[in-house]
Structure 1
Amino acid sequence: MAFREAMIAQRLAGERLHLSHGPMDVVLRGWGAAHEVAAAELAAAARFATILQELVAELPTLRAAVGAETRLDGPVARRMLAGCLPFARQGVFVTAMAAVAGAVADEVLAAMRAAAPGLRRAYVNDGGDIAVFVAPGESLTLGMVADPAGSPARAGGCARGPVADFDGTLSLGHGMGIGGVATSGRHGRSFSLGIADAVTVLARDAATADAAATLIANAVDVESPAVRRRAARALDPDSDLGDRPVTVSLGPLDEAEIAAALDAGAARAEAWCRAGLIRGAALRLAGRARIAGASVPALPEHAA
């Protein structure tokens, strides 16, 4: 499969750069001296233009279940594998595709930093899966969507921590050990085995955050007549989920069902926080929320 169309680059408001190539889209920005930012953007565009064909070359392996024997060659594919393998070792089914957006963001950010070592802060946003860099003495605040379905999150039923910690803005500083923020759920671009409206994860890099968000969102689930599912392959013959049932619609749930689903997802998130695989997670379903792990303060400046 060849993608012959050229990569498209366009300037957006707020000094952001949008790069698009085939099905891939990223929005990025760097802060620093003008020559550093220019070098970072040129490097990002050059690296982004080569990624898609690299991934297509290894697509069969990328769509297969990750295991100890999995071998991948391309740098982005290896980032995908590294992001997923720790969770596969926990006995969870996952393919490298669970980390594709985060791994692309990580790779483009790495290219920016290599070309412009004087950058003060930077981010690469691949459809909501975001790789971030913050130099010492700097902070970067990301705008967060509280609920992709559009209903306001309510604090009722929270297991721990204020819902506001992950609502509105999320401020990251140097030394926090957070290089990636990712969100997944049944409203996202990919199929979900669970019913979460959204799961946002903080981790050491975007590939890990992307994989963890997908897998925690899968765990937010409950058996209920309100959940309608179909085999992934019936919706997309090329899906890496094969015949596994994915959620296609969700009717009203009662309070016990909402609590049970969030409890299941929160248990997975807390276990992975304790294991050091992720820093924190926010889980949302039907206006209820759970917070696991890190509590991150919100600040009003440097919004991305």
Structure 2
Amino acid sequence: MSRMQAGLLPDGRRLHLHDGPIDLIIGADGEAEAVARAYDAAERRFATVLDELCGELPLLRRESDREPSGIVARRMWAATLPFAAEVFITPMAAVAGSVAEEVLAAMCAAAPLDRAFVNNGGDIAIHLASGMTYDIGLVSRPDQPALFATAQLLAEDPVRGIATSGWRGRSFSLGIADAVTVLAARASLADAAATLIANAVDLPGHPAVTRVAARDIQPDNDLGARPVTRGVGSLQPNEIAAALAAGVAFAERLMAEGHIVAAALHLAGETRMVGQGLGRGDAGRQGEEVSRIGGGNPS
């Protein structure tokens, strides 16, 4: 019996795919027959993804200049490789975005679509045909899900991926950001960059920050003995500003190097924006997809 679960959501439009730790929400616009073909392709491609990744987990969980063999694994490796010489990062930092990217690629290869998205826990791969737009709803933390802004993506924009990372998510973070949302050309690259920017929002050694060795929480993770954030207490305004400034400096560098298009950094109710494309639109409007904390495996 297959582990994978697949079915339309109650709205009758979006597809839900689930296998182990991977949970995808998929949407597509176009001719009904094209959408049906795209959904079938998504289901067929997704059915093999988890087993492919598990086959290379030892390699994906460590720093390495050795290219993996699987298609999704290669996406993960390529997205993190530009940063590997300077900071600690493993291909696992881009897993959620890479899975979303791969499933979307299968859909677009199967049928012509006007718009499509694959949302993997808040890490979103997007397809926009000429003239199409998409509204993305942004939240600053998962336990307060009200939108603080929307980002309207245009077909001519260089953005096809969105990812969010932070210590409040389901995965580990080395920093103290409540959330960092990144827009980039690909979901895999957005995933890796969000991880690193969230790590950079930090106050090393601050007594209000609780950290635990990652291996003490999850023995088989890719972070080993590195201390991950498990709680952030009260911070002074100047401390919040300093932590956000460190993240902004790193995000601005990634933008200058062409890795990202924009980023929004959140900590203790404060927000900093970097670049263009985040916050365009009405913050009171419901976004078509929401980028929440929890997509990806921060390293």
Asked whether the two chains share a fold, i.e. TM above 0.5, the reply is: yes
CA-CA distance at 1:293 after TM superposition: 1.4
* Map of 1:274 onto structure 2: 256
1:141 to partner: Cα distance: 1.1
**2:88 is the alignment partner of 1:93:** yes
Relative distance call for 1:151 and 1:102 in structure 2 (3 A) is: closer
Question: Which of these residues, 7, 10, 13, is aligned with residue 7 of structure 2?
Answer: 10
Residue 185 in 1 paired to residue 188 in 2? no
Q: Which residue of 2 aligns with 1:147?
A: 141
1:232 is aligned to: 214
Identity %, equivalent residues: 53
Q: Is the 8 A contact 1:194 1:218 kept in 2?
A: yes
How far 1:23 moved relative to its partner? 1.4
Cα separation, 1, equivalents of 2:190 and 2:201? 16
Bigger CA drift: 240-249 or 11-20? 11-20
Residues 95-150 of structure 1: per-residue CA shift (max 9 Å, x gap): 0000000000000000000001x200000000000000111111011222233242
User: Is the contact made by 2:139 and 2:145 (CA closer than 8 Å) also made in structure 1?
Assistant: no
The structure-2 alpha-carbon separation of the partners of 1:151 and 1:138, relative to structure 1 and needing over 3 Å to count, comes to closer
Distance 1:13 1:290 in 2: 36
Larger deviation: 216-225 or 287-296?
A: 287-296
1:114 maps to what in 2? 109
**Residue of structure 1 in register with 2:203 after alignment:** 222
Regions of 4+ moved over 4 Å: 299-302
**Equivalent-residue separation in structure 1 for 2:122 and 2:34 (angstroms):** 25
1:141-179 Cα deviation digits (max 9, x unpaired): 122223324298xxxxxxxxxxxxx93322111121101
Size of the aligned set, in residue pairs, is 284
Q: Which amino acid aligns with 1:13?
A: P
Compared with structure 1, are the counterparts of its residues 85 and 172 closer, same or farther at alpha carbon in structure 2 (3 Å cutoff)?
same
Code of the residue aligned with 1:44 in structure 2: it is: A
Provide the C-alpha distance between the structure 2 equivalents of 1:150 and 1:302, rounded to a whole number of angstroms: 16
Structure 1: which amino acid aligns with 2:231?
A: S
Q: State the partner residue of 2:181.
A: 200
Measure, in 2, the Cα distance between the counterparts of 1:40 and 1:75.
19
Deviations 1:43-78 (A, max 9, x none): 000000000000001000100014xx2220000000
Residue in 1 aligned with 2:292? Answer: none
Match of 1:124 among 110, 118, 142: 118
Secondary structure (helix, strand or coil) at the match of 1:168 reads strand
Q: In the alignment, is the contact (CA less than 8 A) between 1:169 and 1:303 conserved in 2?
A: no
Work out the CA distance in 2 between the residues paired with 1:5 and 1:82: 30
Contact 2:6 2:15 in 1 (8 A): yes
AA of the residue aligned to 1:82: A
Q: Secondary structure at the match of 1:167?
A: strand
Supply the AA of the counterpart residue of 2:210.
Answer: R
Instruction: Provide structure 2 residue ranges, at least 5 long, that are not aligned to the other structure.
Output: 290-299
Whichever residue aligns with residue 271 of structure 1, its letter is R
Paired position in structure 2 for 1:303: 288
- Aligned match of 1:247: 229
CA RMSD of aligned residues (A): 1.6
- The corresponding residue for 1:173 is 154
Pair 1:261 & 2:243 matched = yes
Counterpart contact for 2:173–2:228, Cα < 8 Å: yes
Question: Partner letter of residue 197 of structure 2?
Answer: I
Report the equivalent of 1:35: 33
How far apart in 2 are the matches of 1:145 and 1:254?
23
Q: Structure 1, residues 173-220: CA drift from partner, whole Å, max 9, x if none? A: 112110100000001111100000000000011000001001100010
1:285 equivalent among 267, 279, 293: 267
Q: Kindly provide the CA deviation profile for residues 226-265 of structure 1, in whole angstroms up to 9, marking residues without a partner as x.
A: 0011111111111100100101111111111101110111
Would the aligned equivalents of 2:15 and 2:25 in 1 still touch at CA under 8 Å?
A: yes
Q: Distance in 2 between matches of 1:54 and 1:106?
A: 15
Counterpart-to-counterpart distance in 2, 1:295 and 1:191: 27
1:70 matched residue in structure 2: 66
Does the CA contact (< 8 Å) of 2:214 and 2:221 recur in 1? yes
Alignment TM-score, normalising by the size of structure 2? 0.91
Q: Distance in 1 between matches of 2:251 and 2:66?
A: 25
In 1, distance between residues paired with 2:33 and 2:105?
A: 17
SS at match of 1:233: helix
AA of the residue aligned to 2:167: R
Three-state SS of the structure 2 residue aligned to 1:212 is helix
Relative contact order (C-alpha < 8 Å, sep 6+): which is higher?
A: 2
